[in-house]
């Protein structure tokens, strides 16, 4: 069964460093998303992406964040200058056609900022 | 702003028992509601999706209902098994694409 994959599974970085989190959505899906979950808190929406552009973003997704689909398979989330409060599990998700179907989530990347 | 609440926060039941998890949301203008399962340190596994025009969905031992007007959904798990132990999250889709999640119910099924 097709699934969303994410790399790396864990990343440790120093405050102020740039990180890139990678995702490979399910191949025939058109909508892509990033969510994050700070330890012990709710899963929060960051951004959705369709047709090579951001379709919606939350207030969390400020100028430090950017997303890109550099080729036909990868979808990346970049954090330019990490802060301690960026430590969280980051989930990538994808959905098929309209953005109103089931969203399928990857296993997540656990980011720790020291 | 949409707020999603799940009660109880944690639940422990003996194996074989039927159980109900509750989810409520403040804005009834939703497109759909999804139930997920999250195992410790892992990603989210989609269990059921109910469109706003539907009243319920079933998959195996799981049955989810939706009462959009009252802002409520329930997830019914029949004949619970130890393998059902996980955190169950509900999420509603209200806008373009994003999901609003609840804080989850942590379920433990005791053998």
Pairwise CB contact (< 8 Å): A45 & B46: no
Q: Give the minimum alpha-carbon distance from A94 to chain B in angstroms, rounded to a whole number.
A: 10
Chain A contact present for B88, CB below 8 A: no
Q: Among A57, A45, A111, which residue's Cα sits nearest to residue A82? A: A111
Say if residue A56's pLDDT is above 80.
Answer: yes
Identity of the residue in B44, B93, B100 whose CB atom sits nearest the CB atom of A105: B44
B8 interface with A at CB cutoff 8 Å:
no
- Model confidence over B58-89: pLDDT tens digits? 999 999 999 999 999 999 999 999 999 999 99
CA of A19: how far to CAs of A45, A81, A109, B38, B85, in Å?
Answer: 19, 8, 11, 25, 34
| pLDDT, tens only, B1-40 | 889 999 999 999 999 999 999 999 999 999 999 999 999 8
Q: What confidence category does residue A99 fall into, taking pLDDT thresholds of 50, 70 and 90?
A: low
- Per-residue tokens: B14: 């003996």
pLDDT band at A71 (very low <50, low <70, confident <90, very high): confident
B26 interfaces chain A, CB cutoff of 8 Å: no
CB contact under 8 A, A41 and B100: no
Task: Using alpha carbons, list the distances in angstroms from residue B107 to A20, B41, B54.
Answer: 34, 15, 26
pLDDT of residue A44: 95
């Amino acid at each position: 069964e097709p699934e969303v994959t994410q790399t790396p599974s864990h990343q440790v970085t120093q405050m102020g460093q740039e990180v890139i989190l990678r995702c490979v959505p399910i191949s025939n899906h058109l909508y892509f998303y990033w969510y994050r979950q700070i330890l012990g808190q709710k899963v929060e929406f960051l951004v959705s992406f369709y047709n090579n552009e951001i379709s919606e973003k939350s207030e969390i997704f400020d100028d430090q964040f950017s997303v890109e689909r550099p080729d036909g398979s990868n979808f990346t989330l970049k954090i330019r200058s990490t802060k301690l409060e960026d430590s969280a599990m980051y989930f990538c998700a994808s959905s098929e056609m309209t953005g109103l179907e089931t969203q399928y989530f990857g296993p997540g990347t656990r980011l720790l900022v020291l | 702003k949409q707020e999603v609440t799940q009660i109880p926060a944690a639940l422990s039941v003996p194996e074989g028992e039927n159980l109900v998890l509750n989810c409520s949301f403040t804005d009834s203008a939703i497109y759909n509601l999804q139930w997920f399962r999250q195992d410790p340190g892992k990603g989210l596994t989609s269990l059921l999706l109910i469109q706003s025009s539907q009243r319920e969905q079933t998959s195996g031992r799981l049955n989810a209902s939706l009462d959009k007007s009252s802002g409520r959904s329930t997830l019914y798990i029949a004949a619970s098994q130890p393998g059902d132990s996980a955190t169950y999250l509900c999420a509603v889709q209200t806008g373009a694409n994003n999901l609003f999640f609840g804080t989850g119910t942590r379920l433990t099924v005791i053998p």
